[in-house]
Chain A
Amino acid sequence: MTSVSRNAALRRVSALVRKEAYQLVRDPSSIAIGVVMPVLLILLFGYALSLDVKAVPVAVVLEDTSPAASELAAGFRLSPYFDAEILTSMPRAEELMLDRRVDGIIRLRSEFSRRLASGDAAVQILVHGSDANRARIIEAYAEGAIGQWADQRSAEGYAAPEGAVTLQSRMWFNEADDSHYFLVPGLIVLIMTLIGAFLTTLVMAREWERGTFEAMFVTPVRSGEILLSKMIPYFVLGIGGLVLCILAAKFLFQVPLRGSVLVLAGVSTLYLLVSLAIGLLVSSATKSQFVSSMVTLVVTFLPAMMLSGFLFDLRSMPDLVRWISYALPARYYVALLQTIFLTGDIWPVIWPNAGMLAGMAAILLAATRAVTRKRLA
């Protein structure tokens, strides 16, 4: 390419980028998706969403009024994990559970203290199973609270200590067990997907539907230049979203960034390219705003939430679903984000995942290039 034609190409691309930017800024609905939505998501993720179980409403049913039973009940009332209501009748507690005013019932039967003395006491825990995850956590907390009470009693000499296996567990990378630590990668994936794929899925189809391409095709502009100019503004917007997220992660959620910013920026660029390519590919291929937005919703957004491994562990899924997840770019990006934020620059994780993203970006961009022709119908 001669320098004259390179200059001309550069001028065309920058003119188109400018045009795209004007349209972006002047359309309130694009602003809503590109700017309002990321901020809204950050607020929701920062303040509203949390998987940490705290102050669970439970009913403690004391059918026995012995000091031992009251002591156990007090244990629940003082625990930060429970918001315990002490009752004396089981039917009342069941009533509360049916209305979901409590999520669990801890029942001490009338002969509790007598049987405790005979070494045969039982505490009954009933949990509401309609949120299985929460139920399991409540169950574990309750058992923990009871165990603590039992340990305390043994320390006070009620029973001889028995040699047993004690578990010392440590949660690496998230010592405080703060769910923001794993929500942040999810947040970034959602925002990058939103800006990358969702805004761009409309831009090609819109030009087809409004007939703005026809005149533009009959100018010296090349189809690759059109494509490039559609990517640049949204790429910049996406990087803006990323910066916003990193700042929010650091200052709002206080999530550490243990890897390097450079690596983070690099892999984010790759993912952004993949999302941009998906949005543009679907848009160019369908030429209809309605169909392309539906397709993009189904292939990018919901999978990014459900199949990327940010909420649900991919390793526990059936093979078929796991294979499907291998086709989704979000899973690689989530793995990268979790590692770079919480662990560090672990190259054995970064190389394969980043490699997959790069490969996908290359294939999708080539496909987009192939379907974007300066031809009608």
Chain B
Amino acid sequence: MLTITNSSKDPFYNLALEEYIFNNYTEDDIFFMWQDEPSVIVGSYQNILREVSVLDLEKQHIPILRRMTGGGTVYHDNGNINYTYITTQAGMIDYADCVKPVIDGLNALGIPAHQNRTCDIAINGEKISGSAQRMVRKRLLHHGTLLFSSDLDRLFTITMKDKNDNIQSKGTLSAICPVTNIIEYLPKPLSIEDFQENLQNQILGTGATEITLNENDQAEIRKLRDKYMSWEWIWQKTPPFTYQKSGTFCNAPIAVRYSAKKGILYDVEIHSQHINFQQAADLFEQSKLDLSLLREKCHLLTSKNGDELLTFFT
């Protein structure tokens, strides 16, 4: 078994590091744990606009990232610990095999965790861990969250409350289910750092080898980090969708419609007595699905009420 100590809390770096390890260490089983600063991570083929409020997250300075595994949207904060388990699997994927080491580790620490649904871990039926996978050739990357002392109200507000129903789209939807924190079930009080160390020791046992990265490795990881920061990775992978939202804009009815494919808008219609229909259609046609760009264009159309107009696009 290999492991790596990663003290970075930069979510972009952490996804890049994980991908680098997955791509370059292709023989041994690997297990490691890590934490992110507050961030939202969507599944490989999810529609960000459907899953979260991009305007609310922008206000809270919470970045949105896209990972390379399947599944739904998660919220990471300083009360959450992530784990990554990379292994070789011949034949069909067995999720029980993936979550078993973590469940066994939690049980050994006196926490009554059990497998729930396909690949969740729960205590008394309330979820403490969700996970997702990527399989390339015979190598499987399985990673998951562990809610230790996360802000569950915030998690609920960000990832579960008010899904955006203005979107018609294919793509992966997130599951909505009751959650709890591990800290409620500790036999004796532990800091999150001690909990992480104890659990990792349980899972790794003795004799795990530490991966060391040289300057070359770090340079490659920085390149991958740039990918995870890029518009192309975050927005272009959005499945094709159509969007429609109506309401009141400057005391008059408004309806906004558009379609997007590979993150590019087309057939944009703004029906409002305050907006010139053709000017708007021309301005937004072939525009990137990018919050600052859309904001800029909304302000071009209506300098006073650009921010209000933008809410009809998201």
Chains A and B belong together in one complex: no
